[in-house]
Protein backbone atom coordinates (compact mmCIF):
# COMPACT_ATOMS: atom_id res chain seq x y z
CA UNK A 1 0.00 0.00 0.00
CA UNK A 2 1.29 3.46 -0.93
CA UNK A 3 0.17 6.77 0.51
CA UNK A 4 -0.32 10.15 -1.21
CA UNK A 5 -0.72 13.16 1.03
CA UNK A 6 -2.32 16.32 -0.37
CA UNK A 7 -1.85 19.47 1.72
CA UNK A 8 -4.58 22.06 1.17
CA UNK A 9 -8.14 21.38 0.03
CA UNK A 10 -8.55 24.34 -2.29
CA UNK A 11 -8.86 24.36 -6.05
CA UNK A 12 -5.59 22.55 -6.71
CA UNK A 13 -5.62 20.19 -3.74
CA UNK A 14 -9.13 18.89 -4.39
CA UNK A 15 -8.44 18.43 -8.10
CA UNK A 16 -5.27 16.48 -7.23
CA UNK A 17 -6.93 14.34 -4.54
CA UNK A 18 -9.91 13.45 -6.73
CA UNK A 19 -7.65 12.56 -9.68
CA UNK A 20 -5.39 10.52 -7.40
CA UNK A 21 -8.36 8.61 -6.02
CA UNK A 22 -9.56 7.90 -9.57
CA UNK A 23 -6.16 6.66 -10.72
CA UNK A 24 -4.58 4.92 -7.73
CA UNK A 25 -5.17 1.37 -6.67
CA UNK A 26 -7.98 1.08 -4.08
CA UNK A 27 -5.46 -0.22 -1.56
CA UNK A 28 -3.46 3.01 -1.85
CA UNK A 29 -4.36 5.79 0.53
CA UNK A 30 -5.19 9.39 -0.45
CA UNK A 31 -5.17 11.84 2.45
CA UNK A 32 -6.35 15.43 2.06
CA UNK A 33 -5.55 17.93 4.82
CA UNK A 34 -7.01 21.39 5.41
CA UNK A 35 -7.55 23.70 8.37
CA UNK A 36 -11.05 24.44 7.09
CA UNK A 37 -13.92 22.00 6.89
CA UNK A 38 -15.44 23.36 3.71
CA UNK A 39 -14.36 24.37 0.23
CA UNK A 40 -15.44 27.73 -1.13
CA UNK A 41 -15.14 28.76 -4.78
CA UNK A 42 -12.83 31.81 -5.07
CA UNK A 43 -14.89 33.03 -8.03
CA UNK A 44 -17.83 33.47 -5.65
CA UNK A 45 -16.21 36.22 -3.58
CA UNK A 46 -17.05 38.95 -6.09
CA UNK A 47 -20.65 37.78 -6.51
CA UNK A 48 -21.03 37.71 -2.73
CA UNK A 49 -19.60 41.22 -2.34
CA UNK A 50 -22.09 42.77 -4.77
CA UNK A 51 -24.97 40.81 -3.25
CA UNK A 52 -25.59 38.86 -6.48
CA UNK A 53 -25.31 35.39 -4.98
CA UNK A 54 -24.16 34.15 -1.56
CA UNK A 55 -20.85 32.45 -0.95
CA UNK A 56 -22.69 29.51 0.58
CA UNK A 57 -24.01 28.49 -2.85
CA UNK A 58 -20.43 27.75 -3.94
CA UNK A 59 -19.40 26.09 -0.67
CA UNK A 60 -19.31 22.36 -0.02
CA UNK A 61 -18.31 20.36 3.09
CA UNK A 62 -14.99 18.58 2.58
CA UNK A 63 -16.43 15.60 4.42
CA UNK A 64 -18.33 14.77 1.21
CA UNK A 65 -15.02 13.75 -0.35
CA UNK A 66 -14.77 10.90 2.15
CA UNK A 67 -17.59 9.23 0.23
CA UNK A 68 -15.21 8.95 -2.74
CA UNK A 69 -12.59 7.17 -0.66
CA UNK A 70 -10.46 10.19 0.21
CA UNK A 71 -9.41 10.42 3.86
CA UNK A 72 -10.09 14.02 4.86
CA UNK A 73 -8.24 15.38 7.88
CA UNK A 74 -9.06 18.73 9.40
CA UNK A 75 -5.96 20.29 10.91
CA UNK A 76 -3.15 22.77 10.62
CA UNK A 77 -0.09 21.79 8.59
CA UNK A 78 2.63 22.83 11.03
CA UNK A 79 5.85 21.42 9.60
CA UNK A 80 7.29 19.52 6.66
CA UNK A 81 10.30 17.22 6.77
CA UNK A 82 11.48 17.19 3.19
CA UNK A 83 13.93 14.28 3.38
CA UNK A 84 11.46 11.82 4.88
CA UNK A 85 8.31 13.26 3.18
CA UNK A 86 6.79 13.63 6.63
CA UNK A 87 4.24 16.25 7.59
CA UNK A 88 3.10 17.41 11.01
CA UNK A 89 -0.64 18.04 11.08
CA UNK A 90 -1.32 19.54 14.50
CA UNK A 91 0.44 17.00 16.74
CA UNK A 92 0.21 14.05 14.35
CA UNK A 93 3.03 12.99 12.05
CA UNK A 94 2.25 11.50 8.63
CA UNK A 95 4.80 9.96 6.30
CA UNK A 96 3.91 9.52 2.67
CA UNK A 97 5.25 8.14 -0.60
CA UNK A 98 4.20 11.33 -2.39
CA UNK A 99 3.27 14.78 -1.09
CA UNK A 100 1.35 17.41 -3.06
CA UNK A 101 1.61 20.89 -1.58
CA UNK A 102 -1.42 23.00 -2.48
CA UNK A 103 -1.54 25.46 0.42
CA UNK A 104 -2.36 28.51 -1.70
CA UNK A 105 -1.19 32.02 -0.84
CA UNK A 106 -1.56 33.63 2.56
CA UNK A 107 -2.51 37.26 3.03
CA UNK A 108 -0.45 39.71 5.03
CA UNK A 109 -2.48 42.92 5.44
CA UNK A 110 -0.36 43.94 8.44
CA UNK A 111 2.55 44.54 6.02
CA UNK A 112 0.98 47.92 5.15
CA UNK A 113 0.43 50.22 8.14
CA UNK A 114 -3.24 51.11 8.57
CA UNK A 115 -4.55 48.52 6.11
CA UNK A 116 -6.14 46.34 8.77
CA UNK A 117 -7.74 49.33 10.51
CA UNK A 118 -9.12 51.27 7.54
CA UNK A 119 -9.78 48.79 4.71
CA UNK A 120 -11.77 45.63 4.13
CA UNK A 121 -9.93 42.79 2.47
CA UNK A 122 -12.05 41.82 -0.51
CA UNK A 123 -9.93 38.67 -0.90
CA UNK A 124 -10.29 37.06 2.53
CA UNK A 125 -13.21 35.00 3.73
CA UNK A 126 -12.94 36.56 7.19
CA UNK A 127 -13.54 40.14 5.99
CA UNK A 128 -16.11 39.22 3.37
CA UNK A 129 -19.29 39.64 5.48
CA UNK A 130 -18.23 43.07 6.75
CA UNK A 131 -17.04 44.19 3.31
CA UNK A 132 -20.35 43.08 1.80
CA UNK A 133 -22.28 44.99 4.45
CA UNK A 134 -20.17 48.11 3.84
CA UNK A 135 -21.00 47.90 0.13
CA UNK A 136 -24.71 47.39 0.82
CA UNK A 137 -24.75 50.38 3.22
CA UNK A 138 -22.62 52.63 1.03
CA UNK A 139 -24.38 56.00 0.66
CA UNK A 140 -22.21 57.26 -2.21
CA UNK A 141 -18.75 58.72 -2.69
CA UNK A 142 -15.30 57.35 -3.57
CA UNK A 143 -14.83 53.58 -3.68
CA UNK A 144 -11.21 52.59 -4.10
CA UNK A 145 -10.04 49.06 -4.89
CA UNK A 146 -6.41 48.91 -3.86
CA UNK A 147 -3.93 46.29 -5.04
CA UNK A 148 -1.38 46.36 -2.23
CA UNK A 149 1.19 43.98 -3.67
CA UNK A 150 2.05 41.72 -6.56
CA UNK A 151 1.70 38.88 -7.40
CA UNK A 152 -1.81 38.30 -6.06
CA UNK A 153 -4.52 35.73 -6.66
CA UNK A 154 -6.56 36.16 -9.84
CA UNK A 155 -4.99 39.23 -11.52
CA UNK A 156 -8.14 40.34 -13.40
CA UNK A 157 -10.42 40.10 -10.34
CA UNK A 158 -9.87 43.66 -8.99
CA UNK A 159 -10.97 45.08 -12.36
CA UNK A 160 -13.86 42.63 -12.55
CA UNK A 161 -14.91 43.75 -9.06
CA UNK A 162 -14.64 47.42 -10.09
CA UNK A 163 -16.87 46.90 -13.15
CA UNK A 164 -19.43 44.86 -11.21
CA UNK A 165 -19.48 47.37 -8.35
CA UNK A 166 -20.01 50.19 -10.78
CA UNK A 167 -23.04 48.33 -12.26
CA UNK A 168 -24.27 47.62 -8.72
CA UNK A 169 -24.21 51.28 -7.69
CA UNK A 170 -25.70 52.53 -10.98
CA UNK A 171 -28.59 50.04 -10.64
CA UNK A 172 -29.30 51.41 -7.14
CA UNK A 173 -29.02 55.05 -8.15
CA UNK A 174 -26.04 55.58 -5.86
CA UNK A 175 -23.49 58.15 -6.95
CA UNK A 176 -20.21 56.25 -6.52
CA UNK A 177 -16.86 56.90 -8.21
CA UNK A 178 -15.05 53.59 -8.45
CA UNK A 179 -11.30 53.48 -9.09
CA UNK A 180 -8.49 50.93 -8.88
CA UNK A 181 -4.82 51.43 -8.03
CA UNK A 182 -1.92 49.01 -8.09
CA UNK A 183 1.82 48.64 -8.53
CA UNK A 184 1.63 47.28 -12.10
CA UNK A 185 2.28 49.73 -14.95
CA UNK A 186 -0.69 48.38 -16.94
CA UNK A 187 -3.88 46.58 -15.89
CA UNK A 188 -2.80 43.03 -16.79
CA UNK A 189 0.94 42.93 -17.50
CA UNK A 190 0.82 39.34 -18.71
CA UNK A 191 -1.27 40.50 -21.71
CA UNK A 192 1.19 43.22 -22.73
CA UNK A 193 0.09 46.82 -23.38
CA UNK A 194 -1.71 46.05 -26.65
CA UNK A 195 -3.49 43.07 -25.11
CA UNK A 196 -4.89 45.29 -22.35
CA UNK A 197 -6.65 47.64 -24.79
CA UNK A 198 -10.01 45.88 -24.51
CA UNK A 199 -10.08 45.98 -20.70
CA UNK A 200 -8.69 49.54 -20.69
CA UNK A 201 -11.49 50.52 -23.07
CA UNK A 202 -14.17 48.93 -20.92
CA UNK A 203 -12.87 50.59 -17.74
CA UNK A 204 -12.69 53.91 -19.57
CA UNK A 205 -16.20 53.60 -20.97
CA UNK A 206 -17.56 52.88 -17.47
CA UNK A 207 -15.61 55.72 -15.87
CA UNK A 208 -13.34 53.49 -13.76
CA UNK A 209 -9.76 54.86 -13.77
CA UNK A 210 -6.72 52.66 -13.08
CA UNK A 211 -3.95 54.47 -11.23
CA UNK A 212 -0.91 52.53 -12.42
CA UNK A 213 2.49 52.14 -10.77
CA UNK A 214 1.20 53.00 -7.28
CA UNK A 215 2.79 51.13 -4.40
CA UNK A 216 0.88 51.94 -1.22
CA UNK A 217 3.02 52.87 1.78
CA UNK A 218 0.32 53.37 4.41
CA UNK A 219 -3.41 53.79 4.90
CA UNK A 220 -4.94 56.43 7.13
CA UNK A 221 -8.57 57.18 7.92
CA UNK A 222 -9.75 58.21 4.43
CA UNK A 223 -6.55 58.13 2.36
CA UNK A 224 -3.95 55.75 0.94
CA UNK A 225 -0.45 57.21 0.85
CA UNK A 226 1.93 56.36 -1.97
CA UNK A 227 5.60 57.30 -2.37
CA UNK A 228 6.54 60.95 -2.89
CA UNK A 229 3.71 62.26 -0.70
CA UNK A 230 1.05 61.44 -3.32
CA UNK A 231 -2.20 60.06 -1.96
CA UNK A 232 -5.71 59.00 -2.94
CA UNK A 233 -8.77 59.70 -0.80
CA UNK A 234 -11.52 57.16 -0.25
CA UNK A 235 -14.87 56.71 1.45
CA UNK A 236 -14.70 52.94 1.09
CA UNK A 237 -11.46 51.03 0.58
CA UNK A 238 -11.54 47.41 -0.62
CA UNK A 239 -8.13 45.80 -0.52
CA UNK A 240 -6.30 43.08 -2.35
CA UNK A 241 -3.84 42.53 0.51
CA UNK A 242 -0.17 41.64 0.04
CA UNK A 243 0.15 37.91 -0.70
CA UNK A 244 2.89 35.64 0.64
CA UNK A 245 3.81 31.96 0.50
CA UNK A 246 2.38 30.20 3.59
CA UNK A 247 4.78 30.53 6.53
CA UNK A 248 5.11 26.75 6.95
CA UNK A 249 6.63 26.53 3.45
CA UNK A 250 9.20 29.20 4.26
CA UNK A 251 10.02 27.54 7.59
CA UNK A 252 10.52 24.18 5.89
CA UNK A 253 12.94 25.73 3.39
CA UNK A 254 10.72 25.17 0.35
CA UNK A 255 10.21 28.90 -0.27
CA UNK A 256 12.68 31.69 0.40
CA UNK A 257 11.33 34.56 2.54
CA UNK A 258 9.42 36.96 0.27
CA UNK A 259 9.30 34.38 -2.52
CA UNK A 260 7.28 31.36 -3.63
CA UNK A 261 7.88 27.63 -3.94
CA UNK A 262 10.08 26.97 -6.96
CA UNK A 263 9.09 24.00 -9.11
CA UNK A 264 9.92 22.43 -12.45
CA UNK A 265 7.25 24.14 -14.56
CA UNK A 266 6.35 20.97 -16.47
CA UNK A 267 6.46 18.32 -13.72
CA UNK A 268 5.71 20.53 -10.66
CA UNK A 269 8.49 18.72 -8.79
CA UNK A 270 10.13 20.73 -6.03
CA UNK A 271 13.55 19.12 -6.30
CA UNK A 272 12.84 16.95 -3.23
CA UNK A 273 11.96 13.44 -4.43
CA UNK A 274 8.23 12.75 -4.28
CA UNK A 275 7.32 16.30 -3.20
CA UNK A 276 5.31 18.40 -5.66
CA UNK A 277 3.85 21.90 -5.32
CA UNK A 278 0.94 23.32 -7.31
CA UNK A 279 -1.25 26.40 -7.51
CA UNK A 280 -0.97 29.75 -5.79
CA UNK A 281 1.88 28.77 -3.45
CA UNK A 282 4.26 28.31 -6.41
CA UNK A 283 6.20 30.89 -8.40
CA UNK A 284 6.62 29.89 -12.05
CA UNK A 285 8.48 32.44 -14.18
CA UNK A 286 7.32 32.90 -17.77
CA UNK A 287 9.50 33.77 -20.75
CA UNK A 288 8.60 37.47 -20.38
CA UNK A 289 9.87 37.52 -16.78
CA UNK A 290 6.38 37.70 -15.29
CA UNK A 291 5.00 34.91 -13.08
CA UNK A 292 2.34 32.45 -14.22
CA UNK A 293 -0.89 34.07 -12.92
CA UNK A 294 -2.30 32.63 -9.72
CA UNK A 295 -5.61 31.19 -10.93
CA UNK A 296 -7.82 28.28 -9.97
CA UNK A 297 -7.76 26.83 -13.44
CA UNK A 298 -3.97 26.47 -13.40
CA UNK A 299 -4.04 25.01 -9.87
CA UNK A 300 -6.57 22.46 -11.11
CA UNK A 301 -4.67 21.51 -14.27
CA UNK A 302 -1.43 21.25 -12.32
CA UNK A 303 -3.15 19.08 -9.70
CA UNK A 304 -4.39 16.68 -12.36
CA UNK A 305 -0.95 16.48 -14.02
CA UNK A 306 0.75 15.75 -10.69
CA UNK A 307 -1.82 13.08 -9.83
CA UNK A 308 -1.08 11.26 -13.11
CA UNK A 309 2.64 11.43 -12.44
CA UNK A 310 2.22 10.06 -8.92
CA UNK A 311 -0.10 7.29 -10.15
CA UNK A 312 2.47 6.26 -12.77
CA UNK A 313 5.25 6.27 -10.18
CA UNK A 314 3.19 4.13 -7.77
CA UNK A 315 2.66 1.62 -10.62
CA UNK A 316 6.44 1.53 -11.11
CA UNK A 317 6.22 3.31 -14.48
CA UNK A 318 8.01 6.35 -15.85
CA UNK A 319 5.64 9.38 -15.52
CA UNK A 320 4.95 11.20 -18.78
CA UNK A 321 2.12 13.63 -18.03
CA UNK A 322 3.17 17.27 -17.75
CA UNK A 323 1.51 20.65 -17.25
CA UNK A 324 1.78 22.54 -20.55
CA UNK A 325 1.04 26.09 -19.36
CA UNK A 326 -2.11 26.50 -21.45
CA UNK A 327 -5.37 27.63 -19.93
CA UNK A 328 -8.21 30.09 -19.88
CA UNK A 329 -10.06 32.05 -17.23
CA UNK A 330 -13.00 34.41 -17.34
CA UNK A 331 -13.11 38.13 -16.60
CA UNK A 332 -16.48 39.69 -15.95
CA UNK A 333 -16.70 42.95 -17.84
CA UNK A 334 -19.97 44.29 -16.40
CA UNK A 335 -23.29 44.52 -18.21
CA UNK A 336 -23.79 40.76 -17.81
CA UNK A 337 -20.83 40.01 -20.08
CA UNK A 338 -17.49 38.27 -19.63
CA UNK A 339 -14.30 37.95 -21.64
CA UNK A 340 -11.76 35.14 -21.52
CA UNK A 341 -8.02 35.39 -20.98
CA UNK A 342 -6.63 32.38 -22.78
CA UNK A 343 -3.59 31.04 -24.48
CA UNK A 344 -0.22 29.42 -24.09
CA UNK A 345 1.47 30.97 -21.08
CA UNK A 346 4.60 28.84 -21.56
CA UNK A 347 5.21 30.05 -25.14
CA UNK A 348 8.14 32.39 -25.75
CA UNK A 349 6.84 35.03 -25.65
CA UNK A 350 3.54 33.99 -23.99
CA UNK A 351 0.74 33.87 -26.59
CA UNK A 352 -2.27 35.14 -24.65
CA UNK A 353 -5.39 36.99 -25.72
CA UNK A 354 -8.38 38.64 -24.11
CA UNK A 355 -11.53 37.81 -26.07
CA UNK A 356 -14.37 40.19 -26.93
CA UNK A 357 -16.95 40.27 -24.12
CA UNK A 358 -20.21 38.37 -24.48
CA UNK A 359 -23.10 37.09 -22.40
CA UNK A 360 -22.27 33.55 -23.53
CA UNK A 361 -18.88 33.72 -21.78
CA UNK A 362 -20.56 34.97 -18.59
CA UNK A 363 -22.78 31.87 -18.77
CA UNK A 364 -19.70 29.71 -19.36
CA UNK A 365 -18.16 31.13 -16.19
CA UNK A 366 -21.19 30.02 -14.19
CA UNK A 367 -20.91 26.59 -15.81
CA UNK A 368 -17.20 26.47 -14.94
CA UNK A 369 -18.17 26.64 -11.28
CA UNK A 370 -21.11 24.24 -11.34
CA UNK A 371 -19.17 21.65 -13.34
CA UNK A 372 -16.41 21.56 -10.73
CA UNK A 373 -18.76 21.37 -7.78
CA UNK A 374 -20.53 18.53 -9.56
CA UNK A 375 -17.31 16.70 -10.51
CA UNK A 376 -15.74 16.97 -7.05
CA UNK A 377 -18.70 16.87 -4.67
CA UNK A 378 -21.49 15.43 -6.78
CA UNK A 379 -23.44 18.71 -6.86
C1 LIG B 1 -12.11 37.34 -5.92
C2 LIG B 1 -11.48 36.15 -6.59
C3 LIG B 1 -11.98 35.71 -7.82
C4 LIG B 1 -11.38 34.62 -8.46
N5 LIG B 1 -11.87 34.22 -9.67
C6 LIG B 1 -11.27 33.19 -10.34
C7 LIG B 1 -11.75 32.74 -11.61
O8 LIG B 1 -12.74 33.27 -12.13
N9 LIG B 1 -11.10 31.71 -12.21
C10 LIG B 1 -10.01 31.10 -11.65
O11 LIG B 1 -9.44 30.18 -12.26
N12 LIG B 1 -9.53 31.51 -10.45
C13 LIG B 1 -10.14 32.53 -9.79
N14 LIG B 1 -9.66 32.93 -8.57
C15 LIG B 1 -8.40 32.35 -8.09
C16 LIG B 1 -8.54 31.04 -7.40
O17 LIG B 1 -9.51 31.09 -6.37
C18 LIG B 1 -7.19 30.63 -6.81
O19 LIG B 1 -6.18 30.82 -7.76
C20 LIG B 1 -7.23 29.18 -6.41
O21 LIG B 1 -8.13 29.01 -5.34
C22 LIG B 1 -5.84 28.68 -6.01
O23 LIG B 1 -5.93 27.34 -5.68
P24 LIG B 1 -4.89 26.67 -4.64
O25 LIG B 1 -5.31 25.26 -4.54
O26 LIG B 1 -3.50 26.99 -5.05
O27 LIG B 1 -5.12 27.46 -3.27
P28 LIG B 1 -6.45 27.65 -2.44
O29 LIG B 1 -7.66 27.40 -3.25
O30 LIG B 1 -6.30 28.99 -1.80
O31 LIG B 1 -6.38 26.52 -1.32
C32 LIG B 1 -5.41 26.50 -0.31
C33 LIG B 1 -5.97 25.69 0.86
O34 LIG B 1 -4.93 25.45 1.81
C35 LIG B 1 -5.45 25.60 3.12
N36 LIG B 1 -4.31 25.92 4.00
C37 LIG B 1 -3.39 26.90 3.86
N38 LIG B 1 -2.45 26.83 4.79
C39 LIG B 1 -2.77 25.77 5.58
C40 LIG B 1 -2.15 25.14 6.70
N41 LIG B 1 -0.99 25.59 7.20
N42 LIG B 1 -2.76 24.07 7.26
C43 LIG B 1 -3.92 23.57 6.76
N44 LIG B 1 -4.53 24.10 5.68
C45 LIG B 1 -3.96 25.18 5.09
C46 LIG B 1 -6.47 26.72 3.01
O47 LIG B 1 -7.43 26.64 4.04
C48 LIG B 1 -7.07 26.44 1.62
O49 LIG B 1 -8.24 25.64 1.68
C50 LIG B 1 -10.27 33.98 -7.87
C51 LIG B 1 -9.80 34.39 -6.62
C52 LIG B 1 -10.39 35.47 -5.98
C53 LIG B 1 -9.87 35.92 -4.63
The DSSP code sequence of 16-38 is HHHHHHHHS-TTSEEEEEESSSE
Atom of ligand 1 at shortest distance to CA of 14? 25
Please give the pLDDT value at position 135. Answer: 97
**φ, ψ of residue 83 in degrees (nearest 5):** -65, -40
Ligand 1, atom 53: nearest CA belongs to which residue? Answer: 123
pLDDT of residue 227: 85
Concatenating the DSSP letter of every residue in 254-319 gives SB-TTS-B---TTT-B-SSTTEEE-GGGB--B-TTSPBPPB-HHHHHHHHHHHHHHHHHHHTT---
DSSP state of 354: E
**90-121 pLDDT, tens digit each:** 999 999 999 999 999 999 999 999 999 999 99
Q: Please tell me the predicted confidence (pLDDT) of residue 62.
A: 98
Check: CB of residue 281 under 8 Å from CB of residue 246: yes
What is the share, in percent, of the chain residues with pLDDT greater than 90? Answer: 97
Question: What confidence category does residue 170 fall into, taking pLDDT thresholds of 50, 70 and 90?
Answer: very high
- Give the model's confidence band at 157: pLDDT under 50 very low, under 70 low, under 90 confident, else very high: very high
Helices (H), the chain: 11-23, 44-49, 115-118, 128-136, 157-171, 192-195, 197-205, 247-251, 296-314, 359-377
pLDDT exceeds cutoff 80 at 379: no
**32 within 8 A of 72, measured Cβ to Cβ:** yes
pLDDT, tens digit (0-9, with 9 covering 90-100), for 18-74: 999 999 999 999 999 999 999 999 888 999 999 999 999 999 999 999 999 999 999
Average pLDDT over residues 277-286: 98
Ligand 1 pocket check for 102: Cβ under 6 Å: yes
Q: Work out the percent of the chain whose per-residue pLDDT is above 70.
A: 100
pLDDT per position as a tens digit, 302-323: 999 999 999 999 999 999 999 9
CB 99 within 8 A of CB 18: no
Give the confidence band of 201 by pLDDT, cuts at 50, 70, 90.
very high
Which residue owns the Cα nearest ligand 1 atom 30? 104
Q: What is the pLDDT of residues 251-274, one digit of tens each?
A: 999 999 999 999 999 999 999 999
Look at residue 228 in the predicted model and tell me its pLDDT: 79
Predicted confidence at residue 44, as pLDDT, reads 85
For ligand 1, is residue 9 a contact (CB within 6 Å)?
Answer: yes
Per-residue pLDDT, 293: 97
Q: Write down all domains in the chain, each with its CATH number in brackets.
A: 3-105+245-324 (3.50.50.60), 109-243 (3.50.50.60)
Contact 225, 231 (CB under 8 A): yes
- Confirm or reject: Cβ of 299 under 6 Å from ligand 1: yes
- Three-state DSSP class for residue 48: helix
- Residue 363, Cβ neighbours under 10 Å: how many? 12
Interior/surface letters 103-138, b for 16+ CB within 10 angstroms, e for the rest: bbbbbebeebebbbebbbbbbbeebbeebbebbeeb
Distance 42 CA to ligand 1 centre (A): 6
Regarding the beta carbon of 45 and ligand 1, being less than 6 Å apart is answered yes
- Nearby residues of 98 by Cβ (< 8 Å), 6 or more positions away: 2, 3, 4, 5, 85, 274, 275, 276, 310, 313, 314
Nearest CA to 372 out of 65, 23, 115 is that of: 65
Cβ atoms of 44 and 58 closer than 8 Å: yes
CA of 169 to the centre of ligand 1 (A): 28
Sign of CA dihedral 238, 240, 242, 247: positive
Measured in Å, residue 129 CA sits from the centre of ligand 1 at 18
**Centroid of ligand 1 to alpha carbon of 225 (angstroms):** 29
Tell how far the Cα of 112 is from the centroid of ligand 1, in angstroms: 22
State which ligand 1 atom lies nearest to the alpha carbon of 294.
19
- Point out the ligand 1 atom lying closest to the alpha carbon of residue 365: 8
Answer whether 11 contacts ligand 1 (Cβ < 6 A). yes
What is residue 43's predicted lDDT score, i.e. its pLDDT?
A: 82
Q: How confident is the model at residue 220 (pLDDT cuts 50, 70, 90)?
A: very high
For residue 349, pLDDT over 80 is answered with: yes
Predicted confidence (pLDDT) per residue in 352-369, tens digit: 999 999 999 999 999 999
CA–CA distance, 310 with 23 (Å, rounded to integer) = 9
- Is the minimum distance from the CB of 293 to ligand 1 under 6 angstroms? no
Query: So what's the pLDDT on residue 76?
Result: 98
Average pLDDT in the 275-298 region? 97
**Are the CB atoms for 295 and 5 separated by under 8 Å?**
no
Would the CB of 248 count as within 6 Å of ligand 1? yes
Per-residue pLDDT at 355:
97
Whole-number average pLDDT of the chain: 96
Pocket test for ligand 1, best of 42, 44, 99, 238 (most atoms within 8 A of CB): 42
Cis link prior to 366 (omega < 30° from 0)?
A: no
Atom of ligand 1 nearest to the CA of 75: 43
Contact assessment for residue 63 and residue 376, using Cβ atoms and an 8 Å cutoff: no
The pLDDT of residue 42? 84
Q: Helices in 24-104 by DSSP H: which ranges? A: 44-49
Indicate if the pLDDT at residue 337 is higher than 80. Answer: yes
The sign of the CA dihedral 378, 282, 257, 126 is negative
pLDDT value of residue 348: 96
pLDDT score, position 302:
98
Amino acid sequence: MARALVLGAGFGGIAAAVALRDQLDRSDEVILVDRRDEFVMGTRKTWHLIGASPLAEGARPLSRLAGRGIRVIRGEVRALELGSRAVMVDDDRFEADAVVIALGAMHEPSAVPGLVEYAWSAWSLEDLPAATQAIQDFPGGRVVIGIFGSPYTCPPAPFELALLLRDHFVARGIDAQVSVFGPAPIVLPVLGAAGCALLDGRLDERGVPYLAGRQARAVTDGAVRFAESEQIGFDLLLAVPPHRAPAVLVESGLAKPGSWVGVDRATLETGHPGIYAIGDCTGIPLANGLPLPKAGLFAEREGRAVASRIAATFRGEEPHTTFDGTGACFVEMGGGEASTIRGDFYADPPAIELTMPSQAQREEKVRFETERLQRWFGG
